[in-house]
Amino acid sequence: MALPPGFAQEGTTMSHSPSTKRAVAVAAASLTALALSGTAVQAAAPDPTLRSEAPRDLKIGSAVWGQRDLLDHDRKNPTEFQQILAAEFDSLTPENDMKWAEIHPEPDVYDFSGADALMEFAQANGQEVRGHTLLWHSQNPDWVTEAAETWTCDEARDVLEDHVRTVVGRYAGDIYEWDVANELIQDEWDAGGVQLRTEANPFLKSCSEDPVGLIGDVFRWTHEEDPDSVLFLNDYNAEGINAKTDAYYALAQELLADGVPLHGFGAQGHLSLQYGFDESMQANFERFADLGLKVAVTEADVRMPLGEDGEPTPEQIALQAERYDKMLQACLNVASCTSFTVWGFDDGRSWVPDVFPEGYATIMTEDYEKKPAYDVLLEGLTDATPGKSPRTPPGLNT
């Protein structure tokens, strides 16, 4: 803190003329008045961030593609994106880096470059990592989808077990939650209705006589390689109580009864303003929590159809913020909710426009301008209990 005129640093001398004594007295009185009034005299506190305001027992995360955004990480000269990622979030999810096509592109080839870059960034910035994902019907390499046409169940199991043990074992101890099995169950409107994706998932198809047994083994292999990680089922359209989450509830009960190390249920939270919000989200989380499971919002974004100018209306912006807030409150109101993750924080990297004729789905614009959706999340976290995390997280180092 800068000293008032007439004060000297410790170890120096100063004169004691009458004018100096008066200056000292005035300065001392001013400091005393400030102290009594509660006015801060030290440097202003840093601006609050999502990670600084979150309850201590809730991780606030973002998906990030390490291969694209973190391979060039220079701690002394981080990009603006990297600075925001480090400041706002204490949890990272690999958007693509741990999916089969990226990390296991050939039968005997593993590419850990993107995942390693993400892990190194997280460790440098005091962040934890959610692993994503080990068993999924999508984004599998050609060698898997082609070989699966002729695999026996034993052959499929061997390939899957090697993959799980290799990937999980490499990062054991550094991943706090794993989306072990992703999007296992179809929607009501899919052909065949709500059921396991035994046709679309190459491994479940090869072991169609006992797909639940294979799912249980994937959890067991993951737990054996990393016994400290919390292991999740994860899916979209799984926010509220519906036919799909009823099926997941029954599957969770079956797995738990069989002694499978299932620890959590994740609702992705990919929402669209073209549809309503399911107000039973909290009740859905509560029923899974009653099974002894953790719950989480794992991939939140709120997309919307845009006009010819590509811009949202004020009403859409307000409704988007409301949807984000409702998802966060459903999590905050259930003690077993361990993490709230947005699926990327800026529109420039959002997956939405590449998949849907919609956009504006994240909490910041392409230029990192914070939207009202960001503001409501920050307010919700600030108001939440218990307690706040430190404003300057330990280990923060961009």
The residue behind tokens 């880096």 is: 97
Which two tokens mark 378?
Answer: 């920050």
Residue from 53, 177, 286, 299 carrying the catalytic annotation: 299
Torsion angle in degrees (nearest 10) through CA of 346, 352, 357, 363: -30
Residue from 53, 183, 239, 286 carrying the catalytic annotation: 183
- Measured CA to CA, the distance from residue 111 to residue 167 in angstroms comes to 10
Burial label, 124 (beta-carbon count in 10 A; 0-12, 13-18, 19+):
middle
Task: Confirm whether 183 is a catalytic residue.
Answer: yes
- Measured CA to CA, the distance from residue 53 to residue 49 in angstroms comes to 6
Point out the residues that are catalytic.
183, 299
